[in-house]
Structure 1
Amino acid sequence: MPYEPTIPTIPEPTTTARLQPTSQGVEALKDIAFGSIAGIAGKVVEYPFDTVKVRLQSQPDHVPLQYKGPLDCFRQSVRQDGFRGLYRGVSAPFAGAAAETACLFWSYRIAQDFLRSTLYPSDSALPLTGLVTAGALAGAVTSVILTPIELVKCRMQVPLHSPLDPTLRPGTSLSSSSLSPLAVIADVYRREGVRGFWRGQMGTFLRETGGTAAWFGSYEACTMFFKKRLRALSSDPTLSDPMLPVHQQMASGAVAGMSYNFIFYPADTIKSKIQTGELTHARPTFLSTGRALWRSHGLKGLYRGCGITVARSAPSSALIFTIVENLKRWFA
């Protein structure tokens, strides 16, 4: 019988392997779409409070404070510009909130996949420490995208003075009620170039890395607690991953929002001071700005506006997580 060589055949990929890239792409699109919707909804709720917070944070240190507190800042702002003035510059934050929240949820899932492939078994759920780590990684990635967006937002919320501009009289504000995001972007590029858009990056990085770890970590911890209670109260022994009722989803999201804003609030204060301070030849650093603020006002200065920020973060974060979770359920 003549010899007939056999040609080895390459096995067909399994259905799971064939679908994995498509599945990853679909999940990424869901993260981006759901996160964008939730981010915009949350920004509608929180933006007036955010304006008050930034104005409190950005008060000069070498003169008497203009605002006695959040309520006084709110009253003065409404008296000067009306309630609409509290939404000044909201167009940029709408785009920013969509990009930020979409990036957070997308990078959070990617970070979880990375940790499963390196540190944890791929077929098991991540422990809380793994989820906190994934949140920190997601925050670090998002900070790079968020810094330019927040710089434009802050400069529209707070008047900016610059002794470097020879066309302006001393004390003339760069922002007004008619200033558009494009005008701010053009001004930043003209003065500082591309690098200027990342002014305050260190503060955003510290706030987002630590804050997002607390944000996702607190939400996951509360969710685990509520699900454990539901399983204990349920008569169904097969109930392993129960769907939480809306009020428990919102409670978990509210706790997450307050944790995010309170723990790393000083980093946000320093970031806002850098982004809205006077433009000088010496570029301010995170440490120098923090030391100057500490010398002038102590710990109280670092937490200026913290109360209103934590208060507004509860409903905003509750809304974001609830929208994302339910959209995932509806489009599963």
Structure 2
Amino acid sequence: MESASQGRLESEIPITATSAGLKPKTAVMEALEDVTYGSIAGVVGKYIEYPFDTVKVRLQSQPDHLPLRYKGPLDCFRQSIRADGVLGLYRGISAPLVGAALETSSLFFFERIGREAVYASGLAPRGQDLPLSALYFTGAFSGVFTSFLLTPIELVKCKIQVPATESGGAKATPLRPGAVIRDIFRHHGVLGFWHGQVGTLIREAGGCAAWFGSKETSTKLLRSLNERAATSPEDLARMQAAPLPLWQQAVAGASAGMSYNFLFFPADTVKSRMQTSPLGEPGSPRRSFVGETKELWKQASWRGFYRGCGVTVLRSAPSSAFIFMVYDGLKKSFPMQ
């Protein structure tokens, strides 16, 4: 699988005027491809990962003042399915589907803007592949802007995903996105939808640098290994012109997702705890990112920051692999003019 930058450049070769007699794609068409195909890829990835994401949020959001409700990911799966069935793991997916479409399309869109900024600055010749260091930067650039779009959606998602009652309590009616949105606005106003923004910003800026950067690094490594196995100049030229085999595309995409989720998981844990705190209840203070971090450290030390990390990294591998494969596959198969 080509990287987000290399893959786009290669996918544009067949549609240039010199190679196929067609007009080159305009900036508007490039942006439309980012939004459309990024949205489709994000929705596919979200359906794959959502049950694991529900388990992750429930593990992360266990309260400080009570014994842990779940012993681990498998226990959380068992209790969740026993209480609500398999479909309960998809509770609240409507908002995340919108968020996944918005997130993935925004990531590719803003990454393209980041690359244009690098070219405009003169740090790299326009038309050539960017170096790895620049792609890590464009990934971080994309994550910063995308974080402001994601925080409100993730706030609603997290409040729907957590159990409505503590263990042994009466079961409450599952929350709906509309009710959660009204409740947030009533208690905290418009700015309340960006509760947890610092955690989202750290996770997205660092995580997206790792996402795009790891994808590019893995792609270059795999391509280099393939080219070393070439038996003739013609064989080498064929390998350089062709995309990676599907299994290697999947490996590169999976490595990106695993890097994204593992490296900045503590920031995501703190964010999830902030976003699942009760709204407007006496004795439930609205902690800051630093305050929530201190409370978690006092409760569980460093281990508390990694609750649900294993299941998150596990689900990110197939999800991220499919996102890149669907996105790049659509761009090559259905180029917009």
How does the TM-score come out when normalised to structure 2?
0.86
- Listed one character per residue, the Cα deviations across residues 261-309 of structure 1 (whole Å, up to 9, x for unaligned) are 0000000000000000133685311111001101110111000000000
- Match status 1:201 vs 2:207: no
Aligned length, in residue pairs = 304
Matching residue's letter, 1:120 = A
- C-alpha distance in structure 2 between counterparts of 1:279 and 1:203, whole Å: 19
Q: Aligned to 1:303, which of 284, 301, 306?
A: 306
Q: 2:11 maps to what in 1?
A: none
Deviation of the 1:180 alpha carbon: 1.7
Q: What runs of 5+ residues in structure 2 fail to find an aligned partner?
A: 1-16, 18-22
Q: 2:42 maps to what in 1?
A: 39
Equivalence map 1:178-217=2 (5 Å): 179-217=175-213
Deviation of the 1:160 alpha carbon: 6.2
| Residue pair 1:107, 1:141 contacting (<8 A) in 2 also | yes
| Residue pair 1:257, 1:318 contacting (<8 A) in 2 also | yes
Q: Aligned to 2:150, which of 146, 152, 160?
A: 146
Change (3 A) 1:172 1:79: closer
| Residue pair 1:159, 1:176 contacting (<8 A) in 2 also | no
- C-alpha distance in structure 2 between counterparts of 1:252 and 1:117, whole Å: 29
- C-alpha distance in structure 2 between counterparts of 1:121 and 1:176, whole Å: 58
Q: 1:103 maps to what in 2?
A: 106
Q: 1:224 maps to what in 2?
A: 220
SS in 2 for 1:279: coil
Q: 2:13 maps to what in 1?
A: none
- C-alpha distance in structure 1 between counterparts of 2:288 and 2:131, whole Å: 37
| Residue pair 1:227, 1:241 contacting (<8 A) in 2 also | no
| Residue pair 1:115, 1:130 contacting (<8 A) in 2 also | yes
| Residue pair 1:48, 1:87 contacting (<8 A) in 2 also | yes
SS in 2 for 1:322: helix
- C-alpha distance in structure 2 between counterparts of 1:241 and 1:129, whole Å: 24
SS in 1 for 2:26: helix
Q: What runs of 5+ residues in structure 1 fail to find an aligned partner?
A: 1-14, 162-170
Deviation of the 1:241 alpha carbon: 4.5
Deviation of the 1:176 alpha carbon: 3.1
Q: 1:176 maps to what in 2?
A: 173
SS in 2 for 1:66: coil
SS in 2 for 1:205: helix
Give the fraction of aligned pairs with identical amino acids, expressed as a percent.
53
Deviation of the 1:232 alpha carbon: 3.0
Q: 2:259 maps to what in 1?
A: 259
Q: 1:8 maps to what in 2?
A: none
| Residue pair 1:274, 1:289 contacting (<8 A) in 2 also | yes
| Residue pair 1:53, 1:306 contacting (<8 A) in 2 also | yes
- Match status 1:82 vs 2:78: no
Deviation of the 1:124 alpha carbon: 2.3
Q: Aligned to 2:159, which of 147, 155, 160?
A: 155
Larger RCO (alpha carbons 8 Å, 6+ apart): 2
How does the TM-score come out when normalised to structure 1?
0.87
Q: 2:331 maps to what in 1?
A: 328
Deviation of the 1:159 alpha carbon: 4.1
Q: 1:91 maps to what in 2?
A: 94
